[in-house]
A and B are shown apart, each in its own frame.
Chain A
């Protein structure tokens, strides 16, 4: 089984980078094939909103950079892991620039889910979603927004299941590791 980790950390010194290694190790132990993408080290253009991936090159972004390859690997994956510092409750710029580039995996057409409009997906296969956000201090509103955002993304990407964790304040890597392990045991 394949997993893709999108690490949206803005800097080298960040607990998210430690957790990325932990997740790789745990997934590896469970027999997953893992690809990690440290987005801050990638030259990725931001989405230009042209809808070219729907009407010019259906299923592929018209921007020819590494975003295409990452998008392909996400489509092929069984698990998508998002790591991000909470940024006003949402994803960091680094992560969001890739999230915006994932729309080729959707269709322009709409469907109703619980009476609400969402896009149809291009592929039948969809990865499970695990999102882990880090906040340097506890903040209820940021955490609420983040959990709701992951839930909304999972609805729009039609992820079969989604798991979300927010770690805030002083970090104990052992406790975080146990939480991650618990999540991955459930996912696996």
Chain B
């Protein structure tokens, strides 16, 4: 039985429950729960709407022994709503608290190359350092949207991701540091990059064209602003 008392997963996608981040967080949550560890999941987007809810979220985050942020990448960085939480956490933690906590992050982006997430991971590592949290590492995932609405366990392309996350959870349960090997395995590209890049560059117009609303089909390249 693990001695870990409380794990909190922060789902940092503005899309909330219908997000890839939630998919990944749910997978991790289940792994902890299977092992008898109390793990909770909070959707940041629901809690940043007012100061009271935000404050409550920050207090819950400060109370957790293991804090895991699962987030998409927005504009090379952490989405604004998550920065808000980190800023508030920093203020409260520095003012009043001195508890042993560990922090891990998992970022996913729409680009095929996982390394686009590296800077967001660096910022989270800096946040951990500035707030006195023990840094456990950051997983980077490319082609995030391909995980949308899928069970990670049953999705063949997510095999490495699941293996790496399993290793990370096992280590956390034993009270150990997340091994670098787990981060490396979980961060492997879902598919060979050469193939994905070729498809995205050459068939992107068709793929996005299919997602366009009927009323604006063919308007993908619109320039609504006169320059």
Contacts and interface: CB of A to CB of B under 8 A. Distances in A.
Given A50-B15, A91-B77, A112-B201, A58 B83 contact: no
Contacts, number: 142
A88 interface: yes
Contacts of B122: 89, 141, 145, 148
Interface in B195-215: 197, 200-201, 204-205, 208, 211-213
A56 B213 contact: yes
A110 B74 contact: no
B224 A59 contact: yes
B169 interface: no
A179 interface: no
Given A76-B227, A148-B119, A109 B204 contact: yes
Contacts of A57: 216, 224
A88 B123 contact: yes
Contacts of A149: 76-77, 119
B80 interface: yes
Interface residues of A, number: 50
Contacts of B13: 49
A54 interface: yes
B197 A112 contact: yes
User: Which secondary structure dominates where chain A touches chain B?
Assistant: mixed
A145 B121 CA distance: 10
A153 B220 contact: no
Contacts of A72: 225
Contacts of B124: 88
Interface stretch (A12-20, A115-123, A162-170): A115-123
Nearest to A98: B80
A125 B112 CA distance: 27
A156 B77 CA distance: 12
Contact of B83 (A51, A75, A92, A141): A92
A59 B72 CA distance: 22
Interface in B92-114: 111-113
A100 B126 contact: no
A103 to B, nearest CB: 7
B72 A49 contact: yes
Contacts of B153: none
A133 interface: no
B126 A122 contact: no
B123 to A, nearest CB: 5
A108 B208 contact: yes
A96 interface: yes
A87 B220 contact: no
Interface string A30-63: 0000000000000000111111001111111000
A10 B79 CA distance: 17
B20 to A, nearest CB: 10
21 contacts: A46-B79, A47-B14, A48-B45, A50-B15, A51-B211, A54-B220, A55-B212, A55-B213, A57-B216, A72-B225, A88-B86, A88-B124, A88-B126, A92-B83, A96-B75, A99-B77, A108-B220, A117-B197, A123-B225, A141-B126, A153-B76
Given A59-B224, A96-B74, A96-B80, 16 more contacts: A10-B87, A46-B48, A46-B79, A49-B79, A54-B220, A55-B213, A58-B212, A60-B224, A88-B124, A100-B79, A107-B220, A108-B204, A117-B197, A123-B227, A145-B122, A149-B76
Interface of B: 13-15, 19, 45, 48, 72, 74-81, 83-84, 86-87, 111-113, 119, 122-124, 126-127, 129-130, 197, 200-201, 204-205, 208, 211-213, 216, 219-225, 227
